[in-house]
Structure 1
Amino acid sequence: MSQTLYTHSEILAKARELAGMIARTKEVDFYKRAEQQIKQNERVQKMIGELKKKQKQLVMYESMNKPDLVKKVEEEFNQLQDELDSIPIVAQFKQSQLDVNDLLQMVTHVITNTVSERIILDTGGNPLTGETGGGPQHTCGCS
Structure 2
Amino acid sequence: MLATSERVELVENAEELAKMILESDVVEQYQISLYKLRHNRESQRKIKRFISVKDLYEEVQRFGKYHPDYKKIMTEVREYKREMDLDPLVADFKLAENDLQALLDDISVLIGGSVSEHIKVPTGNPFFDTGHSCSGGCSSGSCG
CA distance in 2, matches of 1:10, 1:76: 55
Task: Name the residue aligned to 1:115.
Answer: 115
Using the size of structure 2 for normalisation, the TM-score is 0.68
| 2:22 corresponding residue in structure 1 | 23
How far 1:59 moved relative to its partner? 2.0
What is the rounded CA distance, in whole Å, between the counterparts of 1:21 and 1:70 in structure 2? 50
After TM superposition, give the deviation of residue 5 of structure 1 in Å.
7.6
Give the structure 1 partner of residue 36 of structure 2.
Answer: 37
Pairwise mapping of residues 124-135 of structure 1 onto structure 2 (< 5 A)? none
Deviation per residue, 1:69-127 (Å, 9 max, x gap):
3453233122112112222222111100010000000000111111116xxxxxxxxxx
Q: RMSD of aligned C-alpha atoms? A: 2.4
Letter in 1 for 2:24: T
Query: For residues 73 and 17 of structure 1, what CA distance do their matches in structure 2 show?
Result: 49
Say if 1:115 and 1:60 are closer, same or farther in 2 by CA, change over 3 A. Answer: same
* CA 42–111 in structure 1, closer or farther in 2 if over 3 Å, else same: same
Question: Partner residue of 1:49?
Answer: 48
TM-score normalized with structure 1 length: 0.68
Q: Quote how far apart the aligned CAs of 1:38 are.
A: 0.8
Sequence identity (%): 27
- Structure 2 unaligned blocks of 5 or more: 118-144
1:78 is matched by which residue type in structure 2? R
Task: State the one-letter code of the partner of 2:19.
Answer: G
Alignment partners' CA distance in 1, 2:74 and 2:113:
42
